[in-house]
Amino acid sequence: MENMDDFSPENVLAPPPPPPPMKKSTDLFMQRSNSFVSKATRDSWDRMFDEAHGADVLIHTDDNGLIYAHSNVIGMASDVIRGMMKQHKRKSHRKSISILGVPHDAVRVFIRFLYSSCYEKQDMEDFAIHLLVLSHVYVVPHLKRVCESEFESSLLNKENVIDVFQLALLCDAPRLGLLCHRMILKNFEEVSTSQGWQAMKESHPRLQKELLRSVAYELNSLKQRNRKQKEIQTYTQLYEAMEAFVHICRDGCREIGPTKTETPHMSCGFQACNGLEQLLKHLAGCKLRSIPGGCSRCKRMWQLLELHSRICVDSEQCKVPLCSSLKERMKTQSRKDEKRWKLLVRNVLSTKRIGGSPFFLQAIDVTL
């Protein structure tokens, strides 16, 4: 029987460690055009397409152009092309199909893409619109996505946006259509003077009317948003003014209030304090407030005081001047004025979302 000491940890040979992970060779992959593929594979695709060795399909293009291709390759990439080749009834060693209506070079770039899903950057810049059409007509979804991505990243501009927009509608490219529509709305003055706009006006007047309607709607929406934003800004300023009222009359600030600061020019945390102090000083010394027509600054101060009285929850202990008197005055106001004031109060309070617990409870002297 073997000695058990031979199996001690010291005598047992551990298995060799696994080899370290291989580093990716920077020479194995290269970026040629816009596709990461091995150089050997890419060269094989290019040679197969360019040399057309064993090609059994003849593609006719505009200007009597000819492109040789392999039926198995392009038929697997496009079901439409496969169907076209099946309809070829001539008994010859080469099938024949036609791709017309686009430049010969665009068809060549398209067929090359069917082989390798690759393209040269310059080819895409030259034939992006044609490739978008071909990708839709011959149902090559991945080429359509590439075209949409290229337009979105760099190729879409104010000169071609109308043409691309029309093609996006025809070629079922909703995202590209949305991007075009946004660019048209944003740059309508320049786009409306382009050649594409003039051509669309003659060939598709209905689409032009729809775009004009959408531009008018967008402008109206923009005006409404700006008006709403200004209203919110005004209500926010009123709310801050109400807070500053309480701060001045309860705590004192600079030159007004129960406790004046030693440094009158030092600013506090309420931005509205300085303006309110100036209005209060003016109200105290203005000689025009009792004259018919009155003083506009005094009227503004009275409106602010009344707004505070409508928001304040305890006028009896409030330190803001005339708070309780103005609350009594509310009972004699007309329904129309009362309704208008209630709407203003609701809008002012909603800017800070303070619900039923307004800041103005702080107007009550906490020392009482």
DSSP assignment of 160-223 equals THHHHHHHHHHTT-HHHHHHHHHHHHHTHHHHTTSHHHHHHHHH-HHHHHHHHHHHHHHHHHHH
Token pair listed for 57? 């399909």
List the strands of the sheet with 65-69, edge to edge. Answer: 65-69, 57-61, 95-98
Q: Compute the half-sphere exposure of residue 29: CA atoms within 13 Å on the CB side of its CA.
A: 8
Q: Of 257, 279, 283, 253, which is closest to residue 267 (Cα–Cα)?
A: 253
Token pair listed for 251? 């705590």
For tokens 């309420």, the residue is: 270
Contact between 132 and 167 under an 8 Å Cβ cutoff? The reply is: yes
Token pair listed for 41? 């594979």
For the residues of 108-175, what is the DSSP string, one character each?
HHHHHHHHHS---HHHHHHHHHHHHHHHHHTT-HHHHHHHHHHIIIII--TTTHHHHHHHHHHTT-HH
Q: Which domains are present in the chain? A: 40-155 (3.30.710.10), 230-255+270-351 (1.20.1020.10)
Contact between 131 and 106 under an 8 Å Cβ cutoff? The reply is: yes
pTM of the model as a whole: 0.60
Q: pLDDT 10s digit of each residue in the chain, 368 long?
A: 444 454 444 444 445 555 554 444 333 333 344 555 677 777 787 788 888 888 999 999 998 999 999 999 999 999 999 999 988 766 667 889 999 999 999 999 999 999 888 888 999 999 999 999 999 999 999 999 999 999 999 999 999 999 999 999 999 999 999 999 999 999 999 999 999 999 999 999 999 999 999 989 988 888 999 898 888 888 888 888 888 878 887 777 766 655 555 555 555 667 777 777 777 777 777 777 666 567 888 888 888 888 888 888 877 778 777 788 887 788 787 888 888 888 888 888 887 654 333 444 443 333 33
Element at 107 (helix H, strand E): helix 104-116
CA distance 134 to 141: 10
Q: How far is CA 204 from CA 135, 211, 212, 214, 262, in A?
A: 23, 11, 13, 16, 74
